[in-house]
Amino acid sequence: MNLALTLGNPRLSPPMHHQFTRLLLAPLMLASSAIGFTCTPSRADDAAALMGRWRIPPYAQERFRMSDQCQRYADTDTQRVDESEVEVFKCDDPKYAAVKARILDYVHRVNPIYRREGHPLYSENISGLCAVVQESKSERKDDVCSPSPDLRKQPIVGLPVIWNIRRTRNGDWPYRGDSYSPSSGYGAISCFKNPTGDRLVTKGCRRWTVELPFVGSEPCDCGCSMIVCDKYVWQRK
Best CA proximity match to 18, nearest among 187, 216, 199: 216
**pLDDT on residue 226:** 65
Q: Residues of the chain with pLDDT > 70: what percent?
A: 75
| Lowest mean pLDDT segment, chosen from 50-54, 73-77, 153-157 | 73-77
Task: Give the model's pLDDT for residue 33.
Answer: 34
pTM above 0.85, yes or no: no
Is the pLDDT confidence value at 23 over 80? no
Which of 72, 69, 83 is CA-nearest to residue 8? 83
Give 216's pLDDT tier (boundaries 50, 70, 90).
Answer: low
Strand 187-192 relative to strand 160-167, pairing: unpaired
SS (H, E, C) 95-151: HHHHHHHHHHHHHHHHHHHHHHHCCCECCCCCCCEEEEEEEECCCCCECCCCCCHHH
Q: Which of these CATH numbers, 3.40.630.30, 2.40.128.520, 2.40.50.100, 3.40.50.300, describes 42-236?
A: 2.40.128.520
What's the one-letter identity of residue 162?
A: I
- Mean pLDDT, the chain, integer: 81
Q: Is residue 37 predicted with pLDDT exceeding 70?
A: no
HEC sequence for 34-56: ECCCCECCCCHHHHHHHCEEEEE
CA gap 174, 227 in Å, rounded: 19
Identify the band that residue 70 occupies on the pLDDT scale cut at 50, 70 and 90: very high
- Whether residue 1 is predicted with pLDDT greater than 70 in this model: the reply is no
Question: Using CA atoms, how far apart are residues 49 and 185, in angstroms rounded to an integer?
Answer: 28
- In tens, the pLDDT along 84-140 reads 999 999 999 999 999 999 999 999 999 999 999 999 999 999 999 999 999 999 988
Confidence of residue 21 (pLDDT cuts 50, 70, 90): very low
pLDDT at 168 over 80: yes
Q: Where are the domains of the chain?
A: 42-236
Residue 113 and residue 110: Cα distance in Å, rounded? 5
